[in-house]
Amino acid sequence: MDRIKRLAFEVLDGHKSKFGGDFVDNKKALNQISIIRSKSLKNKIAGYITKFIKKEIREEKTKQARIESSRSEQVETVIPESVEGDDAPESAEELTLTNDAPESAEELTLTNDAPESAEELTLTNDAPESAEELTLTNESDEPKTE
């Protein structure tokens, strides 16, 4: 390691919080911390410190950007997997409905978003006395009782 780097790291080890990305401010901080009689040596050390601090800041920003992009990619990959899960029913026969004795007769429209086909199913409840009286109709098929 050459003399400039060695001296710069000695100063940075003890007083890193006083330095930033501006050469003039770093030169003033170096004057307060140390006594360097040579103007060129002082400028070289302050310049190296400035270069080193800017490099650290730049690397930290790129590291944060990579972390953010990897997080967003993970979120994007998790969302489609949960939407395209294998647990979605593929046909009206696989769809199971339960009735908790509703107050009045009502017509509900359910959408089955299976990956292979999306069918619109209509659930009609004319007599809400038992779960067996529920009628599940598919617009292309005859009514079925469960």
Domain residue ranges of the chain, discontinuous segments joined by +: 3-82, 92-145
pLDDT of residue 72: 83
* Cα(88)–Cα(40) distance, integer angstroms: 73
Digit-coded pLDDT (tens) for 98-124: 555 555 444 444 444 544 444 444 444
Digit-coded pLDDT (tens) for 2-13: 999 999 999 999
pLDDT of residue 10: 92
In which band, very low, low, confident or very high, does the pLDDT at 97 lie, cut at 50, 70 and 90?
low
Question: Is 73 a residue whose pLDDT tops 90?
Answer: no
In which band, very low, low, confident or very high, does the pLDDT at 96 lie, cut at 50, 70 and 90?
low
Comparison of pLDDT for 76 and 54, the residue scoring more: 54
For residues 85, 90, 144, 138, the Cα torsion angle rounded to the nearest 10 degrees is 100
pLDDT of residue 43: 94
Alpha helices in the chain (DSSP H): 3-15, 23-33, 39-83
In which band, very low, low, confident or very high, does the pLDDT at 132 lie, cut at 50, 70 and 90?
very low
pLDDT of residue 137: 47
pLDDT of residue 133: 45
Q: Please give the single-letter amino acid code of residue 2.
A: D
Digit-coded pLDDT (tens) for 14-47: 999 899 888 999 999 999 998 989 999 999 999 9
One-character DSSP codes across 32-59: HH-----HHHHHHHHHHHHHHHHHHHHH
- What CATH code would you report for 3-82? 1.10.60.20
In which band, very low, low, confident or very high, does the pLDDT at 1 lie, cut at 50, 70 and 90?
low
Comparison of pLDDT for 125 and 62, the residue scoring more: 62
